Structure 1
Amino acid sequence: MARKQSDYLAALLSDEVETTPAAVEEAAPQAPAIPPRTERSRGTTLLGRESALARVASGEVRQVTQLLLDPARVRVWPGNARSYIHLSEESCRELIDSIIAEGGQKVPAVVRRIDGDPDHDFEVIAGTRRHWSVAWLRAHSYPDMHFVAQVVQLDDEAAFRLADLENRARKDVSDLERARNYAEALKHHYGNHMTRMAERLKLSKGWLSKMLKVAGIPDAILDAFASPADVQLKPAYPLAQALDDASKAPAIRKEAQRLAREQVSRRNGGRPAVPAADVIKSLLAAPDAGRFRPEPKSVLSNHGRPVASIQSSNRQGVTMRLHAGSGAQREQILDAVRELLAMLDDEGRGLRP
């Protein structure tokens, strides 16, 4: 080991050395930066320095390098639950003021290196709001502000677990954001094995099942809310269950359309939005309100007789009936089935892959 490197490690790990800031660089480091030499205590011995180096070699202690980055060269990892496009000056105002008051970002984000992207060198695993806030400050009178980050080596599944741990402590990450993030992770990282995912994340399988259920609420229903952030797990779970009932879903969808129009009208008129609790109550009451009576879904032949019809549609699948005596040929029957599936897709009740 080079002398300078050993001096750096010994200085870093010695209990009797004055604390110095972590090494930082403007670009990707080629080697760990060397902190300024500090005066060691007279009692420091060669044995003590070798012991410190042995701790590093054994993996007991690891070096942590922090970088000062241009946020424009850092993209946000799409596997994070937080919706970057919904961040704003208002939602990040407290963090922005804190960074200004402290003269810079004090808590480093977690990033990893990426290859094959000419526009970016790193991606954010944890610290999305910090990235947004520093980028905003650089565009608003603080051009020299840097994005402080710690580089780690993680595969996608480990990155997801790290981001999830951070987001659990954040009240501004909505249940719906987390639920949809879990649904994507279940498919991409855990092979659709919910039990394995629950074990890896150390979550209750029942709780995770409810989150995944809420993740499946269609966007057409979410439009009834003033904001997707208003969709919380406990009240939204009965709604997700009701949407599985083919006899109730059409009425709920129709009521969601009405509520969505009302939300737009209120927003344009400067009036308060319909509260989330009232939206849930109205949607769940829709099937019994007599506002909508679903008509049976069927396709008729040229002779006016039913060729195929939908018997039920829920999370277990779609049940259809092919009618005898319709006078339709095989290709016409297949066309009728395709037409019925297209009807379900348009309503958001189609078969899920």
Structure 2
Amino acid sequence: MARKQSDYLAALLADDEPIEKSSKDDLIQAESQTPAAPPAPVETPRAERLRGTTLLGRESALARVASGEVRQVTQLLLNPERVRIWPGNARSYEHLTEESCRELIDSIVAEGGQKVPAVVRRVEGDPEHDYEVIAGTRRHWSIAWLRRHSYPDMMFVAQVAQLDDEAAFRLADLENRARKDVSDLERARNYAQALKDHYGNHQTRMAERLRLSKGWLSKMLKVAALPDDVVAAFASPADVQLKPAYPLAQALDDRGAAQAIHREARALARLQDARRKAGDATLPAAEVLQRLLAAPIGDKRPAGPLAEWVNPRTQRAAVSVLSSNRQGATVRLHAGSGSNTEDLLNGIRDVLERLAADGKGVQA
């Protein structure tokens, strides 16, 4: 895994400078002492040749570092409290829990510490933090949790790298693609922010840098635009997956359909909240999506009048308002209601006053 992490970094910076991982001598161990060196063995001619080759290789490596041909990436043992989370990462740190990190926590305890280093970079001007996490948010959360729960000496193992924001975003994105616990919505919104921050709103350039298809990136950005009140209709933002959510995002482009979807979303959000409080199971994502997409269809079904006046003498409907908008109102006078002219005028006045009270009145 550590090899894989280094390969991520090397691949991302391949168009800049190659990266060479530092040796184990570069690991910083807190308050450790160097043991006394054992007696030097008697060297044979073969050993001398091997030592000469090793020294030549080491001198060559040092020369490459000094010339700037390669950069060393140092691993550190850090207190997680001195390390902040880079906001450009898609993963939502505040939504991490003991349950979601349980497998990782158990693995760290079983192995006696964190084996796969995170990737961090130095920060300036922050008195409370020395580094920020580019890749390894769950590892940071898990180590911080263990330090609060019976493992106060547990250290956060991190690999320090020099990365600008765009390279940091690409590295974090590569790691997140392999993580099932990073939802499509989190990634989509992370992409939408990165499009503005790093790529000047040029989708083609972003797709090329991330090695993604332009069509797939376009769909991700479309889903990223889902309004918060629509997302709230789902039991969790993690339920918003790319393939089923894309038609919903498209439906919101129609103004009339969007109004119906927003109304249904608010009703569903209230229902989900009531179910949580009652201890009942929340509605599954498939059902929520079906109801949201069906909302505009329901709005197109024949509906009753906006307002209606019933003649009190005959107990029959005499005046109905079928529609009301900025262009005017459509009023229907019912035949056979037993109403005279005075009755109809009273009925019209009554329905118009009620529409005005509801904010749907006709403006002269």
TM above 0.5: yes
Using the TM superposition, give the Cα deviation of residue 291 of structure 1 relative to its aligned residue in structure 2, in angstroms.
8.2
Ranges in structure 2 where 5+ consecutive residues have no aligned partner? 1-19, 42-46, 307-322, 330-364
Contact 2:30–2:77 (8 Å) recurs in 1: yes
Match of 2:243 among 222, 234, 253: 234
Given the superposition, is the C-alpha separation of residues 56 and 264 from structure 1 closer, same or farther in structure 2, using an over 3 Å criterion? same
Partner-residue secondary structure (3-state), 2:274: helix
**Matches of 2:273 and 2:54 in 1, distance apart?**
69
Q: Does 1:55 align with 2:64?
A: no
**Which of 11, 23, 29 lines up with 2:27 in the alignment?**
23
For 1:189 and 1:117, the matched residues in 2 are separated by 23
- Which secondary structure does the structure 1 equivalent of 2:223 belong to? helix
The 5 A counterparts of 1:199-238 are 199-238=208-247
**Matches of 2:87 and 2:100, distance apart in 1:** 20
What is the one-letter code of the residue matched to 1:50?
L
Q: Show the 5 A alignment for 1:137-148.
A: 137-148=146-157
Residues of 2 paired with 1:296 and 1:111: CA distance?
60
CA contact (8 A) 2:73 2:161 kept: no
Evaluate the alpha carbon distance shift between residue 296 and residue 129 of structure 1 in structure 2; reply closer, same or farther with a 3 A threshold.
Answer: farther
Which letter maps to 2:285? A
> Is it true that 1:97 corresponds to 2:106 in the alignment?
yes
Amino acid at match of 1:58: R
SS in structure 2 of the partner of residue 89 of structure 1: coil
Name the TM-score, length of structure 1 as normaliser.
0.73
Match of 2:131 among 109, 118, 122: 122
Q: What is the distance in 2 between the residues matched to 1:297 and 1:242? A: 23
- Report SS of the residue matched to 2:299: coil
SS at structure 2 position matched to 1:166? helix
In structure 1, C-alpha distance between the alignment counterparts of 2:162 and 2:79, rounded to whole Å: 20
- Where does 1:1-353 land on structure 2 (aligned, <5 Å)? 23-26=27-30, 41-58=47-64, 63-290=72-299
Partner of 1:324: none
Partner SS, residue 84 of structure 2: strand
Q: Distance in 1 between matches of 2:201 and 2:209?
A: 13
Q: Indicate if the aligned counterparts of 1:223 and 1:256 stay in contact, CA closer than 8 A.
A: yes
Q: Is the 8 A contact 2:268 2:288 kept in 1?
A: yes
Mapped to 2, the partners of 1:158 and 1:20 lie a distance apart of 26
Deviation of 1:129 (Å): 0.2
Q: Is the 8 A contact 1:110 1:125 kept in 2?
A: yes
Structure 1 Cα separation of the partners of residues 26 and 123 of structure 2: 23
**d(CA) in 2 for partners of 1:220 and 1:191?**
28
For 1:21 and 1:255, the matched residues in 2 are separated by: 61
Indicate the residue corresponding to 1:315 in structure 2: none
Cα deviation for residue 24 of structure 1 reads 1.9
Alpha carbons of structure 1 residues 288 and 144: separation in structure 2 relative to 1, 3 Å: same
In structure 2, the residue corresponding to 1:116 is in which secondary structure? Answer: coil
1:49-71 deviation digits (Å, cap 9, x = unpaired): 12332134235765432111110
Contact kept? 2:84, 2:132, Cα under 8 Å: yes
Deviation digits for residues 90-140 of structure 1 (CA, Å, limit 9, x no counterpart): 100110111111111110000000000010000000000000000011111
The aligned length equals 281
**TM-score (norm. length: structure 2):** 0.71
Q: 1:245 to 1:37 in 2, by over 3 A?
A: farther
Q: Identity across aligned pairs (percent)?
A: 66
Distance 1:290 1:63, change over 3 A: closer
